Structure 1
Amino acid sequence: MGVTGTGGYPGSSGPPGRSAKRPTWVVGGITIVSFVAVLWIIELVDALSGHRLDSNGIRPLETDGLVGVLFAPLLHSNWQHLIANTVPALVLGFLMTLAGLSRFIFATVIIWILGGLGTWLIGNVGAPTYHGVVVETNHIGASGLIFGWLTFLIVFGFFTRKVWEIVVGVVVLFVYGSILLGVLPGTFGVSWQGHLCGALAGVLAAYLLSGPERKARERRRASTPNPYLTP
C-alpha cells in the first residue's frame, strides 16, 4: 500500500522554536475517543428519531442495501448494543493507533469497506425463511469493525516480525481471543456474517500494511551472503 511508519511511541520534540509534537499515544487516544463519542451522538439522534436511522444498515444482495456498507458501523439497534461495543472499540482502537495513525486509518478503511461488502454478499446465509422466501436481514453495528481490529492486532506482529507488535498480538489474543467464536453461526439476530467478514478483512489489512517491513526483510535477506556458498 506504500504506507510508511513503524509504530512505537514517537514523542520527541521538534526543531528549536517549534512546539513539541504530541506523543503517538495521546493522538491515538484522542482519535479513538472522538470516534466512539460520534457513535454515542449518532445513537442519541437515532433514539430521538424512533430508530429511523437503523434502516440504513447493510441489507444483503439488495442494491439499495449497499449504502449500508458506509453507514452500518455507525449504527446500533439500542443503547445496550452500543454499550457492548464501546469498551472493545476503545481498547482495540487505541492499540491500533499505536501502529501509526496512517496505518490505523488505512486499516480501518479496508476493514470497513471490505468487511461491509463481504457482509452484503453473505449476510443472508443462515437466515430463516418464510414460505420459501428468506427473511430480510439488516446488519448494523461496529462489531464487524471491532473484529477486524482484533484480528489485525493478533497477526500484524507476525507479519512485521517486531517484538513489541508480537507481544501486543499475543496479549490481545489472550484477553479477547474468546470473542472470535462470534464468527461462527449462532443466534439469529447476531451478525456472525459481519463478524466473519470483518475478521477476514482485518487479516488482509495486516498483510497489506506490513508491506514495508516485509520488503525490508526480503532486502536484508537478499543482501546477506549465504555462508554455505562463500568460497
Structure 2
Amino acid sequence: MGAELAGRARAGLVTMIAVTAVLYALQIANMATLGWLASTFGIRPRDPESLPDILTSPLVHDPTGWGHLAANTLPLIVFGFLAFLAGVREFLTAVALSWLASGIGVWLFGGSIFGLPSITVGASGVIFGLFGFLLVRGFLNRRWGQILLAVALFIAYGGVLLGALPTLERGISWQAHLFGLLGGVAAAVALRSRERGPRPRSQTRSR
C-alpha cells in the first residue's frame, strides 16, 4: 500500500508539473500573439459557435500579464496532486466533470447583465471543481483521513469559496467558479456510488 501511494505521488507530481508547463507555454504564445489564443478559444456566452470553446477555455489565461495564471498555479498543483493520490480514474473524473460543468455554466449564464461582450478564460473553474471534490469525498466515503484532509484544506483555502458567490465585479467569472465547484461535488458523488457499490444482501439459511 505504501509503495502504491508513493507511486501515485510521483505520477501525480509529474502530471501536475507537465500540466503547468503546458499552461505556461500556451501563455507565452498567448501574450506573443497579443491575446489571439484567448479571443479565439475563450468562451463567448450563449454564442453557438463558441460551444467548442468549453473544451479549450481552461487552457488559456488573461493575455495582459502573468497575474491570472500565476494566481491559479499553486492551487491547481496542490488540488490536482491531492486528487491524483486518490487514483487516476478519480483524478480524471473530477477534472472532466469540473471542466465541463464550469464551461457549460459559463456558456449558459456568463457575461454581463448589461449585455456587454465578454470572453471567459482560465483554469479557475477546474480548480474550484478539484477543491469541491476534495472537500466532500471524505464525508461521502466516511473515511477519516480524507475528512481530516478536507478540514485542513478548508482552513487553508476556504476563503476562495467566496469567489463562487454572484458578483458584479468585472474580470471575475463567478459562474465558472460556482459550476466548476458543483462539477467537483458531482464527481465525488459519482465516484462514491461506484466505490462503495451495492451492499450485499443478508442471507438466511434454512434448516
Structure 2-normalised TM-score?
A: 0.90
Structure 1: state its 5+ residue gaps. Answer: 1-8, 13-20, 226-231
Between the two proteins, the alignment pairs up a number of residues equal to: 200
Checking the alignment, whether the CA contact within 8 Å between 1:32 and 1:90 is kept in structure 2 is yes
Structure showing greater Rg: 1
Structure 2: state its 5+ residue gaps. Answer: none
- Percent pairwise identity: 38
Q: State the 1:10 CA deviation.
A: 4.9
User: Match for residue 193 of structure 2?
Assistant: 211
User: Match for residue 62 of structure 1?
Assistant: 47
C-alpha separation in 1, matches of 2:191 and 2:16: 20
User: Match for residue 107 of structure 1?
Assistant: 94
Determine which of 22, 32, 48 is the counterpart of 1:48: 32
Checking the alignment, whether the CA contact within 8 Å between 1:29 and 1:94 is kept in structure 2 is yes
C-alpha separation in 1, matches of 2:57 and 2:82: 23
User: Match for residue 28 of structure 1?
Assistant: 12
Determine which of 196, 200, 203 is the counterpart of 2:178: 196
CA spacing shift, 1:188–1:166, aligned 2, 3 Å:
same
Alignment of 1:119-158 (within 5 A): 119-124=106-111, 127-129=112-114, 134-158=115-139
Write the letter of the residue equivalent to 2:155: F
Q: Residues 101-131 of structure 1: CA distance to partner in whole angstroms, max 9, x if unpaired?
A: 121012111111122112111113xx142xx
Checking the alignment, whether the CA contact within 8 Å between 2:102 and 2:183 is kept in structure 1 is yes
SS of 1:61's partner is coil
C-alpha separation in 1, matches of 2:22 and 2:154: 27
User: Match for residue 17 of structure 1?
Assistant: none
User: Match for residue 174 of structure 1?
Assistant: 155
C-alpha separation in 2, matches of 1:223 and 1:64: 54
C-alpha separation in 1, matches of 2:171 and 2:129: 20
What's the Cα RMSD here?
1.9
